[in-house]
């Protein structure tokens, strides 16, 4: 079973329930101004799943308004994107650049870095949602504004794919181990990247920079999907996306590493997760190396030591046995 927490207001005295919910959401997600006509006896519940960098939750609550103000953003910004699948109820959102209404089977995209005012407009609301760090989906602020608040259906295309994954994941977590959490988080983050790329490519009226960023997101998702391939190189990536290698390097110019270094970092991070996973303690080191695109053990050991200051063998032993 995945690591999860459950929060319910009905375990508290009626007079304390709304304040508890305000404090809880501010601590788990981001500080917000909350308003409701049901503050005297507020009913809400939330189940939170820890998937490493990504957090997923399902929640049901009485009609409520959430507001992120510039002052709250200056005080605290976890810098995340928030995607909510509306299962029951209706709602509306306001940003400086758009207003949108929501109904069941719609997806709502928000950013903790942008002011908003989101409210339910009917009866109780049920959502399934996720949060992912903006650092994993680097978008310029003006590009992010094209995604945040955009109306998006979960009945078809990329929206439906993400919605099905979230719905199935939250319906039953008993088939998973806690160590599966980061892997599921990686899959979800790739789905979000693909969804953002789809949104940015949806219209010819978008400026060239938006198309450029969409291509970068698609390439990054492609790299994550093919990390196991030892022949994954800038040349093969460029060919798969019908661009020149020099243009690929220009796309990554704003990243914190070259294309090759970005690939190597992701591979080493994935190998590091496997090496420190108790469920994989019997998997040989060379098998983990090959799984993440290092066919030569010496190359893997050299790159690992350069990145983490220790050998794969010593790191695994310290992580799995150092506490004994």
Dihedrals phi, psi of 163, to nearest 5 degrees: -65, -45
Indicate the SS3 state at residue 148: coil
Q: What percent of the chain has pLDDT over 90?
A: 54
**pLDDT tops 50 at residue 150:** yes
The pLDDT of residue 146: 79
Handedness of CA 110, 116, 120, 121 (dihedral sign): negative
Task: Of 110, 101, 266, 247, give the one whose Cα is nearest residue 190.
Answer: 266
The pLDDT of residue 324: 47
The pLDDT of residue 255: 64
The pLDDT of residue 88: 94
Q: Which helix (H) or strand (E) holds 127?
A: strand 125-133
Among the ranges given (131-145, 222-236, 241-255), the one the predictor scored with the smallest mean pLDDT: 131-145
Angle at 58 between CA 173 and CA 100, to 5 degrees: 140
Out of 190-194, 249-253, 284-288, give the one with best mean pLDDT.
Answer: 284-288
CA-derived radius of gyration, the chain: 22
Give the separation between CA 269 and CA 56, rounded to whole angstroms: 22
Among the ranges given (40-49, 121-130, 180-189, 245-254), the one the predictor scored with the smallest mean pLDDT: 245-254
**pLDDT tops 80 at residue 276:** yes
**pLDDT tops 70 at residue 217:** yes
Residues contacting 273, CB < 8 A, separation 6+: 182
Tens of pLDDT, residues 153-206: 899 888 999 999 999 999 988 888 888 898 899 889 888 888 888 887 764 444
The pLDDT of residue 57: 95
* Structure confidence at residue 207 as a pLDDT band (50, 70, 90): low
The pLDDT of residue 18: 96
Among the ranges given (67-71, 134-138, 224-228), the one the predictor scored with the smallest mean pLDDT: 134-138
Taking residues 130-134, report their average pLDDT.
93
The pLDDT of residue 202: 61
Q: Estimate the crossing angle of helix 312-321 against helix 297-308, to 10 degrees.
A: 60
Q: 319: which 2 tokens?
A: 């992580």
Tens of pLDDT, residues 32-71: 999 999 999 999 999 999 999 999 999 999 999 999 999 9
Taking residues 75-83, report their average pLDDT.
93
The pLDDT of residue 293: 92
For residue 128, list its beta bridge partners.
58, 85
* Structure confidence at residue 141 as a pLDDT band (50, 70, 90): low
**pLDDT tops 50 at residue 85:** yes
User: Rounded mean pLDDT of the chain?
Assistant: 88
Tens of pLDDT, residues 1-44: 788 999 999 989 999 999 999 999 999 899 999 999 999 999 99
Task: Of 109, 46, 57, give the one whose Cα is nearest residue 81.
Answer: 109
Q: For the chain, give the secondary structure using H, E and C.
A: CCCEEEEEHHHCCHHHHHHHHHHHHHHHCCCCEEECCCHHHCCEEEEEEEECCEEEEEEEECCCEEEECHHHHHHCCCCEEEEEEEEECCEEEECCCCEEEECCCEEEEEECCCCEEEEECCCCEEEEEEEEEHHHCCCCHHHHHHHCCCCEECCCHHHHHHHHHHHHHHHCCCCCCHHHHHHHHHHHHHHHHHHHHHHHCCCCCCCHHHHHHHHHHHHHHHHHHCCCCCCCCHHHHHHHCCCCHHHHHHHHHHCCCCHHHHHHHHHHHHHHHHHCCHHHCCCCHHHHHHHCCCCCHHHHHHHHHHHHCCCHHHHHHHHHHCCC
């Amino acid at each position: 079973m995945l690591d999860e927490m459950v929060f319910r207001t009905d375990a508290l005295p009626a007079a304390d329930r709304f304040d508890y919910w305000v404090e809880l959401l501010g601590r788990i997600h981001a500080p917000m101004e909350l308003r409701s006509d049901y503050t005297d006896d507020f009913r809400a519940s939330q189940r939170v799943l820890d998937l490493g960098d990504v957090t997923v939750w399902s929640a049901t609550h009485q009609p409520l308004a959430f507001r992120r103000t510039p002052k709250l953003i200056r005080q605290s910004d976890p810098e995340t994107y928030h995607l909510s699948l509306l299962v029951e109820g209706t709602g509306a959102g306001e940003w400086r650049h758009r207003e949108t209404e929501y109904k069941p089977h719609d997806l709502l995209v928000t950013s903790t870095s942008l002011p908003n005012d989101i409210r339910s407009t009917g009866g109780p609301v049920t959502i399934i949602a996720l949060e992912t760090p903006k650092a994993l989906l680097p978008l310029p602020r003006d590009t992010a504004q094209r995604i945040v608040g955009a109306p998006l259906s979960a009945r078809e295309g990329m929206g439906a794919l993400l919605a099905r994954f979230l719905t199935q994941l939250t319906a039953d977590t008993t088939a998973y181990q806690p160590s599966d959490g980061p892997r599921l988080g990686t899959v979800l983050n790739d789905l979000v990247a693909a969804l953002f790329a789809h949104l940015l490519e949806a219209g010819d009226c978008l400026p060239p920079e938006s198309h450029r960023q969409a291509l970068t997101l698609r390439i990054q998702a492609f790299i994550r999907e093919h990390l196991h391939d030892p022949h994954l190189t800038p040349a093969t990536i460029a060919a798969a996306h019908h661009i020149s290698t020099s243009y690929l390097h220009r796309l990554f110019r704003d990243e914190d590493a070259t294309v090759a270094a970005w690939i190597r970092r992701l591979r080493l991070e994935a190998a590091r997760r496997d090496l420190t996973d108790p469920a994989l303690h019997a998997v040989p080191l060379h098998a983990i190396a090959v799984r993440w695109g290092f066919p030569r053990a010496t190359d893997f050991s050299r790159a690992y030591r350069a990145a983490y200051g220790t050998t794969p063998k010593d790191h695994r032993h310290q992580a799995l046995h150092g506490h004994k």
